[in-house]
Amino acid sequence: CFRASLVTPLIFGLLLQPPLTQLAIVTQPNIVLLMADDLGIGDVGCYGNDTIRTPNIDRLAKEGVRLTQHIAAAPLCTPSRAAFLTGRYPLRSGMDAINNYRVIFWNGGSGGLPPNETTFAKILQQQGYSTGLIGKWHLGVNCESRNDHCHHPLNHGFDYFYGMPFTLISDCQPTETPEMDRAFRRKLWLSTQMIGLVTLTAALGRLTGLISVGWKTLACLAGFSFLFFVSWYSSYGFVRYWNCIMMRNHEVTEQPMVTDRTMSFILRESISFIERNKQKPFLLFLSFLHSHTPLITTEKFVGRSRHGLYGDNVEEMDWMVGQVLDAIDKEGLKNTTLIYFASDHGGWLERQEGKRQLGGWNGIYRGGKAMGGWEGGIRVPGIFRWPGVLPAGTVIDEPTSLMDIYPTVVHLAGGALPQDRVIDGRDLMPLLQGTVDHSEHKFLFHYCGIHLHAVRWHQKDSGAIWKAHYVTPVFHPPGAGACYDRGFCPCFGEGVTHHDPPLLFDLSRDPSEAKPLSADTEPLFDIVIRKIGRAVEEHHRTLTPVPEQLSVYNIMWKPWLQPCCGTFPFCWCDKEGEN
């Protein structure tokens, strides 16, 4: 009886423990990573937007943890996603550019996420997880032949892939104005005209006897003229066939993609992946095509928002988030699933057509997409939910990075971080659970291509968040807040200003970076600049040379690398339609 009197209260005590204690011992949770494309931090309700409706994303924040200083490692798709998957600054893997071609430009290029990089998906796969990527990749496909798939998701730890190996561009929508490298097209057309003029002049000179030109020379000139014309023409007519394709695993299923149904297929595949893998731990990386131009939006969402097509597109994405959450609830996986929502970088301010704003809004933060230093290009939404493990309704204003997802999910899966390379991310679980007060990040380095534009120092003892800008883009028109004359702000050259001493801000007092400090207005100015300078020197000592994945050669289109579902160059199929 004495033993029973002890055991009975003990059992009741265990049963009455709060869910936090019970679920804290859950090993290998399911992990669902939701990443928007080009979404501005100011486009989401829980980050202050009161006109675009995002109830499902807001629900994640209400039931979980919202980060207010969540930072992308790069202000463009390709390098930011490389950093996200590897936990490393993109220049460590060669995924940031020394030139103006700062992203993967063609499916038929040879650059991409190097095979020797270890993604978190690869580690989770080794830990017994089913791993799937649905949606956008934009980290390359092939290296040396059409089917080597050295950069493909299935070569980087994903068991299943359905989506675009490239990214959405306006060329994917036949009714939209072509977007693909307009400056390159202008140069190509100018070259075509010049060579054509030379050829015509030589031919007329030969016919009139004014110029002595051989027929072979004329034939060569005519051949060059034709090749340049075909290249210029195909850059319009064939981009949709070369880049706007869908794949399932290694197979091209749509070439070109049928955009009217793409979003419904991505949602279907995501829910199907959850249903197929509910009996074992799974990693689902749902990489949305929203809200990148051309803002492909299904008919039932068009005209519903107060922000035109862009707002419609964001609201559709939020609905898709809700459908995924409902699928997780339906399978009884809510309490054993960590969900994360973010954007790959800030909204694209310069993306306009006439009076239509087709890019996102970055709230109070200065700058936007492609700007490596200003907050608007790199500060993004960051939300985590894991009921019973992470405290609901929590807001954390500590510097965190998209690179932190890498060590966080590897730790939760019971894996080990690679010891043969630098991992720049930090495990977020102690911060998210409230067992520590501060982020592990002391310094964060903000690159534009391979060029260091800014550095942030979190001075934990004072609460100050100092940010020094070494380089800033030249806005046009002056004071406009973006590079409307170029479409993108550059990283170097005449389009930037170098600052010596650097521009200094304290983001804890001036998050909009509106009032730069000086030695006259800030007593700690010199000390802060020296401290950050020493951190930059230490950081540079950790960098080692690697092959440039975004070199001019690697980003060039190569016919022998072009994914093709037919006999090249007759690449066309719709296997989804056939099914």
The one catalytic residue among 1, 46, 77, 571: 77
The one catalytic residue among 46, 70, 138, 290: 138
Task: Count the neighbouring beta carbons within 10 Å of the beta carbon of residue 20.
Answer: 13
Pairing of strands 246-248, 251-255: antiparallel
Q: Which two tokens stand for residue 301?
A: 């969402």
Q: Which two tokens stand for residue 464?
A: 């100050």
| Torsion sign over Cα 336, 340, 341, 344 | negative
Q: Which two tokens stand for residue 418?
A: 């690679």
- What is the spatial distance between Cα 338 and Cα 68, in angstroms, rounded to a whole number? 19
Q: Which two tokens stand for residue 553?
A: 């050669």
- What is the spatial distance between Cα 367 and Cα 513, in angstroms, rounded to a whole number? 10
Q: Are 43 and 347 in contact (CB under 8 A)?
A: yes
- What is the spatial distance between Cα 305 and Cα 359, in angstroms, rounded to a whole number? 15
Q: What SS3 state is found at 410?
A: helix
Could you give the angle at the alpha carbon of 560 between the alpha carbons of 554 and 561, nearest 5°? 50
Calculate the alpha carbon distances from 175 to 170, 313, 428 in Å.
9, 17, 44
- What is the spatial distance between Cα 318 and Cα 312, in angstroms, rounded to a whole number? 10
Residue 385 class from Cβ within 10 Å (0-12 exposed, 13-18 middle, 19+ buried)? buried
- What is the spatial distance between Cα 375 and Cα 446, in angstroms, rounded to a whole number? 10
| 35 Rama class: left (phi>0) / alpha (psi -120 to 50) / beta | beta
Strands (E), 150-289: 160-164, 246-248, 251-255, 282-287
Task: Count the neighbouring beta carbons within 10 Å of the beta carbon of residue 220.
Answer: 12
* Longest Cα–Cα distance in the chain: 122
- What is the spatial distance between Cα 83 and Cα 71, in angstroms, rounded to a whole number? 11
Residue with tokens 């911060």: 431
Q: Which residues are registered as beta bridge partners of 130?
A: 282
Residue 530 class from Cβ within 10 Å (0-12 exposed, 13-18 middle, 19+ buried)? exposed
Q: What SS3 state is found at 566?
A: coil
Give DSSP secondary structure letters for 52-89.
S--HHHHHHHHTSEEEEEEE-SSSSHHHHHHHHHHTS-
290 tagged catalytic? no
- What is the spatial distance between Cα 293 and Cα 38, in angstroms, rounded to a whole number? 9
Q: Are 296 and 30 in contact (CB under 8 A)?
A: no
564 tagged catalytic? no
**Catalytic residue ranges:** 77, 138
